[in-house]
Amino acid sequence: MSGNVAYSHVVITDTLARPCKLVGMAAKKSPFFDTATTLGKIVAFFGVSALCGVLAAGLMVPVASLAGSGATAGAEVFNALPASFKGEPIGQPSKIQASDGTTIATFYSENRQPVKLDEISPIMRKAIVAIEDERFYEHNGVDIRGIARAAVHNFTSSSQQGASTLTQQYVNNLLINADSVNGVDRSQMTISGSKDIADKAREAKLAISIEKEMTKDEILEGYLNLVLFSGRNYGIQAAAQRFYSIDAKDLNLQQSAMLAGMVQLPNAYNPETSPERSLKRRNTVLAAMLRTGAIDKKAYDKAVKSKLDPKPHHVKSGCIAADDAAYFCDYVTQLITTNAAYGKTKKDRENLLYRGGLTIKTTLDTKLNKKAAKDARKAIDPKANEDVFASLVSVEPKNGNIVTMAQNTTYAPKAEGKNGNTMYNFAVERSLGGAGGFQGGSTMKPYTTMAWLESGHHMYDKVNAATDKYPESFKWKASCLPRGYAVATGGWPVNNASAGFKRTMTADIGLYWSINTATVKEASMLDLCDISQAASRLGVVDQDNYKDLKTGEKTTVAQPISPSDPSFILGSANITPLAQASAFSTWANRGERCEPRALTSVTDATGNKYKVPPVSCEQVMSSQVAADMNGTMKKIATNRVSKGRVSGPIAGKTGTNNYASSTWFVGYSTGISTAAWVGRLEGKAGEKKNEMHGATINGKRAPWMVDSSTYAAPLWVDFMEEAVTEFERNSFGQAKSAPKPPPKPKSESKDDDKDSESSKPSKSSDSKSNDSKSNDSKSNDSKSDKSKDSSKDKSKGKSENNSSKPSKPKKDD
């Protein structure tokens, strides 16, 4: 009897006997058997006779008593063959699990789930023995009688028989598995009929050796876990689940017979593609079981009349099956395949992922991630817009755990961002499967504020935001650059998105209303390197900068944002949503930053544990600086964005780049920090041709002026309204008290706006031209604040440090 996991000396003449997968029993024919001529049969007969002679000489007769040099030579050859070999672990699927233990995705080159013999139904064991090796419990690994019988049959008949025992088939599969693990090309593997007499004799000797080391039950268990059933499904457990959606222990007679029949020709006897052939083969197995006494006539009669009735279940391999968690799944695979801890080469790491039986436990919250994906698609329908995309990513401030990573697209490894399908993970850097980041716009302004506070200033210090021109001759201090300063080539005219704010104001008001001239004025009084390093300390780097700032040498990882062009302070650098969610979580965590992490443990099939990054937190700013910044950003999130929908305390910052090709809201509570991004993927950021103003979004024309309040902030609110309730919500700490509001300027005494708060804009008009050099950010972040605040809104607008709410401009950055 031929079997699909062992060599056979016979010819499988059926063309369907050539499965395309690795361990097809009859994958190739020996050149000796390419014809069905009488000459071919004679060659076959004598080839098998030679093998029988070698086996008899080496196993059954002492060398000294052998008569004839041929027998002695055969014994010497057999005795010289190796009796052992270095086995390799059998390939097993790896699983990525969410934080609650549910499986996100499965990876395999061979879909196999090893089980113990007692986890395989007894009737299945009987079926495989009856059809593949009915003398299994009688021989010592090689069935000489079976070989002789098959030789005579094949010489005298047009049909073919095999004589490989289950033990020999098991050996053959072990050898093939070892070749596969060691990267032997499939065409070079010795499979089935491609073997010569020496190959077969070697396997026979190995089979005999294995029989001395293992019990029959152990061999049967090993065989049933190793054998190919179809496609990439190996082992009885995977086969039972694949074709009947049950475990191997629950297989009945009819199911067992069908599966046992498949191992000879897995693809030819597939019940889905060849039901008639599969049914005939199943009945052949039932007949063999009746003949050998495995079942009685009554059981046979009932089973042979039954239908195949398969209940197939397909287990997809890879992240494409992870649905809403597909992009997080891809991120996890990138972490494995780019880390030398999992293998010397990328090929080694991929082999471990697809064959090593890894259990990869992660930080993902499946419930929240599903909501994030749903909200992203609701905000930006990927099939009803001009290539506008949305991303949501969240981390826990106290430990850095990534709990969501979702976007509005469908994961498609070979897609290019069209029709809602893409391979790019918008949340992460290019080296880990990302799109390379996006211009941060005004979400970068807090880093200037952070450097401002760390230099000894306060949120309520005044800055002259009327300064709107910085000539090329102005030297911006930048101590980390070779010459110690930067210049704005051609000069830098700075403008605001709203009129009336080119005047003196506090740093608090400048950040609250996202006033460009205020931020730039603060930066002009600081060291630009301190601003860049403030962002870098919080994990925000330039995804387009791979050069050391001082030496100019190329690096393999993204570097801090270069201060050589001062416009970076308004958000011209490309940054990732994950980096921003993590950075802003530092303020939520009172100045302590926790490195974002996705993995909690990685264990292989043998129980070996791989080292994964532990929770790693560091105090990167004082808790007072964090509290002072939270005092302002709390007002932004509470008064301008949430407006009562997200229960606090919450804080955050809006952001929009030139022409609104990249819009943001990054906000947080003490329990969760989330970056919401909406923008373009294709084209150069900050160019008019790439703008979202007036684009077709969600099946209709977008407003003439798109900013963060149009899509990104509402997306953040929709998600965080529920998400914040799943985590702790504590105080951000006490910000320093503000001085009393100054008297209202006389120039504003007759303003029609009845908002009596301090810091109203003057009636002068600012230019609407771009506020930075090429690709600089011209944020337009509060277009939603057009109506006057109600008295209820005003009561909510007071900050936790009792300062009054600043007035609103017509539009802000």
Say if residue 294 is in the same domain as residue 429: no
Say if residue 289 is in the same domain as residue 436: no
Q: What is the pLDDT at residue 35? A: 34
Q: pTM of the predicted model, to two decimals?
A: 0.80
Pairing of the two strands 574-575 and 504-506: unpaired
DSSP structure class, residue 518: H
DSSP structure class, residue 401: B
Cα 689 to its chain centre, rounded Å, is 33
Say if residue 290 is in the same domain as residue 426: no
Alpha helices in 269-338 (DSSP H): 275-291, 297-304, 326-337
| Domain assignment of residue 289, yes or no | yes
Closest CA to 295 of 122, 120, 135: 122
| Domain assignment of residue 347, yes or no | no
DSSP structure class, residue 713: H
In sequence order, the 6+-apart residues with CB closer than 8 A to the CB of 682 are 387, 417, 690
Separation in Å, CA 799 to CA 370, 539, 702, 737: 34, 28, 33, 10
| Domain assignment of residue 761, yes or no | yes
Say if residue 698 is in the same domain as residue 573: yes
Closest CA to 60 of 75, 73, 76, 82: 75
Separation in Å, CA 661 to CA 180, 381, 409, 755: 48, 17, 17, 33
Say if residue 293 is in the same domain as residue 422: no
β-strand partners of 406:
392
Tell me the per-residue pLDDT of 20-64, one tens digit each, with 9 for 90 and over.
Answer: 222 333 333 333 333 334 434 433 433 444 445 545 444 443 434
Domain boundary among 250, 274, 304: 304
| Domain assignment of residue 586, yes or no | yes
Domain of residue 730, CATH code: 3.40.710.10
Tell me the per-residue pLDDT of 290-306, one tens digit each, with 9 for 90 and over.
Answer: 999 999 999 999 999 99
Domain of residue 163, CATH code: 1.10.3810.10
DSSP structure class, residue 525: T
Say if residue 434 is in the same domain as residue 297: no
Domain boundary among 261, 284, 304: 304
DSSP 3-state of 646:
coil
Q: What is the pLDDT at residue 802? A: 35
Q: What is the pLDDT at residue 548? A: 80
Contact 594, 565 (CB under 8 A): no
For 418-441, b/e burial (b = at least 16 CB within 10 A) is eebbbbbbbbbbbebbbbbbbbbb
Contact 694, 702 (CB under 8 A): yes
Q: Tell me the C-alpha distance between 511 and 768, whole Å.
A: 19
Question: Concatenated DSSP letters for 619-643?
Answer: E-S-HHHHHHHHHHHHHIIIIIIIT
β-strand partners of 97:
103, 361
β-strand partners of 700:
697
What is the sign of the dihedral through the CA atoms of 312, 235, 23 and 56? negative
Closest CA to 434 of 533, 365, 338: 338
Separation in Å, CA 452 to CA 270, 310, 505, 523, 812: 70, 70, 15, 8, 21
Closest CA to 781 of 691, 682, 715, 711: 711
| Domain assignment of residue 349, yes or no | no
Say if residue 35 is in the same domain as residue 162: yes
What is the sign of the dihedral through the CA atoms of 47, 48, 54 and 56? negative
Averaged pLDDT, groups of 10, the chain, 813 residues long: 31 25 30 36 42 48 42 53 66 96 96 96 98 94 75 59 83 85 63 61 87 95 95 95 97 98 95 96 98 97 96 92 97 97 94 95 98 97 86 98 97 71 93 93 98 97 97 97 94 91 96 97 98 97 83 83 95 96 98 98 95 97 97 97 95 93 97 97 61 85 88 98 97 82 46 30 37 40 39 35 40 47
Q: What is the pLDDT at residue 547? A: 81
Q: Tell me the C-alpha distance between 599 and 602, whole Å.
A: 8
Q: What are phi and psi of 353, to 5 degrees?
A: -65, -40
Locate 631 and state its tokens.
């005092």
Question: Concatenated DSSP letters for 777-807?
Answer: ----TTTT--SPPPHHHHHHT--TT-PPPPP
In the chain, the number of structural domains is: 2
| Domain assignment of residue 185, yes or no | yes
DSSP 3-state of 548:
coil
Contact 254, 127 (CB under 8 A): no
How big is the chain by its Cα radius of gyration, in Å? Answer: 36
Domain boundary among 247, 271, 304: 304
Q: What is the pLDDT at residue 695? A: 83
Say if residue 276 is in the same domain as residue 422: no
DSSP structure class, residue 158: S
Locate 500 and state its tokens.
């009336």
Contact 519, 445 (CB under 8 A): yes
What is the sign of the dihedral through the CA atoms of 516, 520, 521 and 523? positive
Locate 311 and state its tokens.
């209940």
CB neighbourhood size of 784 (10 A): 16
Separation in Å, CA 294 to CA 129, 288, 289, 341: 9, 8, 5, 50
Amino acid at 285: V
Domain region containing 255: 15-304
Locate 68 and state its tokens.
């004839």
The enclosing H or E element of 228 equals strand 228-230
Q: What is the pLDDT at residue 156? A: 63
Q: What are phi and psi of 647, to 5 degrees?
A: -70, 140
DSSP 3-state of 418:
strand
DSSP 3-state of 359:
strand
| Domain assignment of residue 374, yes or no | no
Q: What is the pLDDT at residue 29? A: 33
Q: Tell me the C-alpha distance between 84 and 647, whole Å.
A: 68
Contact 88, 181 (CB under 8 A): yes
Contact 130, 166 (CB under 8 A): no
- Alpha-carbon dihedral of residues 617, 619, 620, 626, nearest 10 degrees? 110
Separation in Å, CA 653 to CA 58, 80, 170, 440: 82, 77, 63, 11
Q: What is the pLDDT at residue 386? A: 73
Contact 174, 182 (CB under 8 A): no
Say if residue 750 is in the same domain as residue 620: yes
Determine the Cα angle at 333 with ends 327 and 336, to 5°.
150
Say if residue 300 is in the same domain as residue 422: no
Closest CA to 477 of 377, 568, 566, 375: 566
3-state SS, one letter per residue, for 365-394: CHHHHHHHHHHHHHHCCCCCCCCEEEEEEE
In sequence order, the 6+-apart residues with CB closer than 8 A to the CB of 775 are 439, 567, 572, 657, 658, 684, 685, 686, 687
Q: What is the pLDDT at residue 409? A: 94
Sequence length of the chain is 813
| Domain assignment of residue 261, yes or no | yes
Contacts 24+ apart (CB under 8 A), 721-725: 721/645, 721/646, 722/371, 723/368, 723/371, 723/394, 723/404, 723/672, 723/674, 724/646, 724/647, 724/650, 724/669, 724/671, 724/672, 725/647
